[in-house]
Amino acid sequence: MKIERPRGTRDFLPEDMWKRRFTENAIMEVLNSYNYEEILIPTFEHLELFEIKSGEEIKKHMYVFEDKGKRNLCLRPEATASVCRMFVENLRNRQLPIRLYYSCPMFRYDEPQKGRYREFWQIGVELIGSKSSESDAEVIALAIDILKKLGLKFKLEISHLGIIRGLLNDLGISKDNQSMIFSYIDKGDLENIKKIMKSDIFFKLIDIRRKRDALELAHSMLDGHENSINALKELQKILRLLDFSEIEYEVNLGIVRGLEYYTGMVFEISVPNLGAQNQICGGGRYDELIELLGGPKTPAVGFAFGFDRIIEAMEMQKIEILSKNPDLLIAPANDSVRDAAWKLTMKLRKNLVEKRIDIDLMNRKLEKILEYASRIGVKNVIIVGEKDLSKNKVALRNMKTGEQKLVEIDEIAKNID
Ligand code: AMP
């Protein structure tokens, strides 16, 4: 009986995992350098956790099930709600701010296509406890530093929800209608918004896509809308800090994010030409979620990378990563030296931990071992022969150049790169 994997899931082959692990390690190096600490949240949570504030889009796509104890559970569709729950349960007595990161799969019952899966990986951060513009700027700078380290070309767009929200409040739009308007903006469906309201300023505002001067333009349109202006000023402070780090961005007041818990600055990063699913990162400030989940009033800001899309973007932009081909293959020239070859392999594996070291396990003849080595792309082969061994030497063959030389066993490390 042949059983296929479920729709929207993937098998990751050794070459996929090499790329993913290499990339994840590079990302974690930057996260650690910013003093973020790794955490892991449960794969499933109580359904209510995500019903409180994750937003309609996510709610529609959750994997919900009842366990044997008749509890309503849900495979995590995102991490922020879980991290806030973890904060309330386990971390609320720690010194603030707390800088956290996670790397794990999320589950959404969405229509699968390129860049959109039912099981997909997110690497994200949450910076809990600070309301300062520096904390907004820090998470954005962190995301940008990670992408620069990976060598990716991308586009950063920033907004502040307070600008639009302030205007909608002043226009007397109800909270429910505001949520609806936000979800229409997120989907780019302006026609449906026009059925709810017809403010010219609103449509002009969400159409703004400019560099820093966007704020002056928005300011001139928002005369008298005090809350919107205050939000503009907050955004201005964040942009100023990004300017210090020479981070390029575009202000796009049409960015509202699908998740309902955001309260302030929001941002998205996309990779042009990646196709329909080109958004590789989304984040923002959520100052009310922790309190909504039963914790003390605690501001927070964070983001999540779509890790699968980062890998796809790296492939598309042809970013090379370290080769995973073995560095060394130990080949016994005949049966009489198999034990010696085994001992040498184990010694080299112990001493050269950063090298990938292989040994023939198929009892192949030397000629066949060399064929195998070139087929799998081994960089060097060590041929262990009886005569050489008696002089404490082995033959080292560079598979790229075909050059072969005798080297002292203790000098193998010096002779390979
Ligand atoms: P969100 O939690 O919706 O803000 O998503 C954060 C990031 O996760 C997005 O920018 C995407 O890169 C990625 N993402 C969201 N949904 C999926 C999915 N179904 N498949 C792959 N990546 C996704």
The finding on whether 281 has its CB within 6 A of some atom of ligand 1 is yes
Cα 96 to averaged position of ligand 1 atoms, centre (Å): 28
Write down the pLDDT at residue 64.
Answer: 96
User: Ligand 1: which of 82, 260, 309 to mutate, most ligand atoms within 8 Å of CB?
Assistant: 309
Q: For 285-301, what is each residue's pLDDT tens digit?
A: 999 999 999 999 999 99
Superfamily of domain 328-415: Anticodon-binding domain (3.40.50.800)
The finding on whether 306 has its CB within 6 A of some atom of ligand 1 is yes
Are 265 and 238 spatial neighbours (Cβ–Cβ below 8 Å)? yes
What ligand 1 atom has the least distance to the C-alpha of 280?
Answer: 12
The pair phi, psi for residue 208, each rounded to 5°, is -70, 125
What ligand 1 atom has the least distance to the C-alpha of 304?
Answer: 6
Cα 162 to averaged position of ligand 1 atoms, centre (Å): 23
Give the list of residues 6+ apart from residue 363 with CB closer than 8 angstroms, or none: none
If you write DSSP's letter for every residue of 151-215 in order, what string do you get? T---EEEEEEHHHHHHHHHHTT--HHHHHHHHHHHHHT-HHHHHHH---HHHHHHTT-EESTTHH
- Would you say the CATH fold of 328-415 matches that of 14-316? no
Q: For 235-250, what is each residue's pLDDT tens digit?
A: 999 999 999 999 999 9
The pair phi, psi for residue 275, each rounded to 5°, is 105, -165
Write down the pLDDT at residue 114.
Answer: 93
The finding on whether 309 has its CB within 6 A of some atom of ligand 1 is yes
Cα 306 to averaged position of ligand 1 atoms, centre (Å): 5
Beta bridge partners of 330: 359, 382
Q: Would you give per-residue pLDDT tens digits along the chain (417 residues)?
A: 999 999 999 999 999 999 999 999 999 999 999 999 999 999 999 999 998 877 777 888 999 999 999 999 999 999 999 999 999 999 999 999 999 999 999 999 999 999 999 999 999 999 999 999 999 999 999 999 999 999 999 999 999 999 999 999 999 999 888 888 988 888 888 888 888 888 888 899 888 888 878 888 899 999 999 999 999 999 999 999 999 999 999 999 989 887 778 999 999 999 998 988 999 999 999 999 999 999 999 999 999 999 999 999 999 999 988 888 999 999 999 999 999 999 999 999 999 999 999 999 999 999 999 999 999 999 999 999 999 999 999 999 999 999 999 999 999 999 988
Residue nearest to atom 18 of ligand 1 (CA): 116
Domain boundaries, the chain: 14-316, 328-415
The pair phi, psi for residue 349, each rounded to 5°, is -60, -35
What CATH architecture is 14-316?
A: 2-Layer Sandwich (3.30)
